[in-house]
Structure 1
Amino acid sequence: MSGPVITGTIHGVGLGPGAPDLLSVRADRLVRTTRHIAYFRKAGRPGQARRIAEGMLRADAIEFPMEYPVTTEIPVSDPRYNACLSAFYAQCTEKLAALARSGEDVIVLCEGDPFFYGSFMHLHSRLSGVVPVHVVPGITGMAGAWNATGMPITWGDDVLTVAMATLPEEELVRRIRDTDALVVMKIGRNLPKLRRAVAAAGREEAAWLVEHAAMPNQKVTPLTEAESVTPYFSILLIHGQGRRP
């Protein structure tokens, strides 16, 4: 009589905003003890998630870099973009599920929090119900960014809006004007558009740019003084000024 089938677990592990000592105790333990390590990266790059985990992996770790087939080469609005990424996530899912079915645990290294604008959620939706999947929360990049400014992002009843700089300019203006506190991500080449939107909303003097939050090369600059921006690791902030004792 055969014994029970042992299935491994896929762990989406939030690594936080960039500093290795900002991992949770649970995340640290999984990164250091799990043999199979997966992570996303752009082709030809080591990948930010892997960089955070540098020096933490066990000596016999087996790494599975998942290299995006497309990043900015095709517009998001192009049907080919979704088709390409969908096939990519399907391939990654098949590989991870096969490892789990063979009894192996796997961790997927995730920048920030796995469920906050991260690529892991696309694997999670495909793996759920197929093999066991667990998520380890992480400190978000935006939390690292507003802490870098040394000022609270919200007070009292402030409403916080999180927006993407990829939104149409008129939509950005409306969102910026209508909120108390603001976080804008995915800036990169959208900085000129974002700068115009912040000015049109009348909030240019209150805006800050944070680059490489919680990393050694962290930089905090008022938007009015910023000339350029690091494409990927940049966040714009406007702090709420709400009710306080």
Structure 2
Amino acid sequence: MNRKPADCGTLYGLGLGPGAPDLMTVRADRLLRGARHLAFFRKAGRPGQARQIVEGLLPEGVREYPLEYPVTTEIPFDSPSYKGILAAFYAECCDRLKALARTGEDVVVLCEGDPFFYGSFMHLYTRLRDSLPIQVVPAITGMSAAWTATGLPMTWGDDMLTVLTGTLPETELVRRMAESDALVVMKVGRNLPRVRDALARTGRLESAWLVENASMANQRVVKLSEAEQLSAPYFSIVLVHGQGRRP
């Protein structure tokens, strides 16, 4: 393990929750309002969802460091070039943040949802945890906000909950959907038709919900069988509720 300088600043992975500012934790709000240096991921030319969530909550004079993805959906995520490009990007981000922290300054990195649940911050954490003091502030996940938005309990009794990604092959989605009682499907986007077909093959389409932008002003909740679109916004989750044991 690398030795951490005694006068080094701390890197905070700040979970913001699903999108509504008032669903942040008290700890996250306190750290955010006291931040001097703020980093956040975004697509080039976009304001960044994490940055939009905290609009109006930042202290005067805070310095901002956008970390702009070199690619997002322009090339397939499973291509060697995609992996190489992003690996170089995360290494560059780490160099920037490490240089700043080693001046003695704390740095807050904004994280949509929970930092350890499908978040970009994880790629920084694994690269920096042996060389910088890091604290992770957990948060409400997007899937929790999504199932709350349906107005139905997600799991009962002995229900087994499975979290899947829509990027999986359809045959794999079918296999795992058939094994579980309650389902959460993340990373829906352009994979929506594949997810819909997999649910239909397992006889679960009529029980599925599509929740877009959970907890945000533009939240939309609809039965998946009634959603005719071929894609969904980035912040979209498909749910199938468990129906297990209860008194």
- In which range does the TM-score fall when normalised by the shorter chain? over 0.9
Where in structure 2 are the equivalents of 1:102-117 lying within 5 Å? 102-117=103-118
Contact 2:190 2:232 in 1 (8 A): no
**Structure 2 Cα separation of the partners of residues 219 and 187 of structure 1:** 14
| Counterpart in the other structure of 1:33 | 34
Contact 2:192 2:232 in 1 (8 A): no
Matching residue within 230, 233, 236 for 1:231: 233
Aligned CA RMSD, in angstroms, stands at 1.0
**More displaced stretch, 220-229 vs 202-211:** 220-229
| Counterpart in the other structure of 2:140 | 139
1:82 Cα deviation from its structure 2 partner: 0.7
Where in structure 2 are the equivalents of 1:21-170 lying within 5 Å? 21-170=22-171
1:5 Cα deviation from its structure 2 partner: 4.5
Aligned length: 242
3-state secondary structure, aligned to 2:171: helix
AA aligned to 2:80 is P
**Structure 1 Cα separation of the partners of residues 78 and 127 of structure 2:** 23
Report the TM-score when normalising by structure 2. 0.96
3-state secondary structure, aligned to 2:17: coil
1:240 Cα deviation from its structure 2 partner: 0.2
Contact 2:212 2:233 in 1 (8 A): no
**Structure 2 Cα separation of the partners of residues 5 and 14 of structure 1:** 26
Report the TM-score when normalising by structure 1. 0.97
AA aligned to 1:124 is Y
Runs of 5+ consecutive residues of structure 2 not aligned to the other structure: none
1:139 Cα deviation from its structure 2 partner: 0.3
**Structure 1 Cα separation of the partners of residues 15 and 31 of structure 2:** 11
1:6 Cα deviation from its structure 2 partner: 1.4
Runs of 5+ consecutive residues of structure 1 not aligned to the other structure: none
After superposition, what is the alpha-carbon deviation per residue over 1:12-68, rounded to whole angstroms, capped at 9, x for unaligned? Answer: 000000000000000000111111000001111111111111111111010000000
| Counterpart in the other structure of 2:15 | 14
Matched-pair identity in %: 66
Contact 2:177 2:202 in 1 (8 A): yes
**Structure 2 Cα separation of the partners of residues 201 and 44 of structure 1:** 41
1:120 Cα deviation from its structure 2 partner: 0.2
1:207 Cα deviation from its structure 2 partner: 0.3
AA aligned to 1:237 is L
AA aligned to 1:23 is M
| Counterpart in the other structure of 1:221 | 222
